[in-house]
Amino acid sequence: MNDAREKRLAGRYPTFCAVELDSGTGITRNLSTTGVCFTTDKALEPDLMLRCFIPMQKQTGRNLTRLRCEGRVVRSDKSEEGWEVGLKFTSLEW
């Protein structure tokens, strides 16, 4: 079975929040320590290096902070919501 889940290094957690991209916005579908899947209104080329910001709440506080993520697009598939994009993180910063 050649399934994308076989390649995952970390568990994915359903997460639905806005994501700010260099080229627009999107909505997260799931998140892990190694990447994020989100939907957006346009296709992104595989291997594209991308920076995005995800509003997150740190465990110890009530205030939202923007998680800064950089990574490489590993897939971009057409879906009912637009385009489903998989981003593998190269760096994360609170």
CATH code assigned at 20: 2.40.10.220
Is a pLDDT exceeding 70 seen at residue 18?
yes
- Find the mean pLDDT for residues 50-78: 89
Print the domain residue range for 66: 4-93
- Find the mean pLDDT for residues 39-48: 96
> CB of 61 within 8 A of CB of 38?
no
Place of tokens 């892990």: 32
pLDDT attached to residue 2? 42
For the chain, the helix, strand and coil percentages under 3-state DSSP, each to the nearest 5: 5, 60, 35
Structural domain total, the chain: 1
The contacts of residue 71 (CB under 8 Å, 6+ apart) are: 35, 36, 49, 50, 52, 87, 88, 89, 90, 91
Check residues 59 and 46 and name the one with the higher pLDDT.
Answer: 46
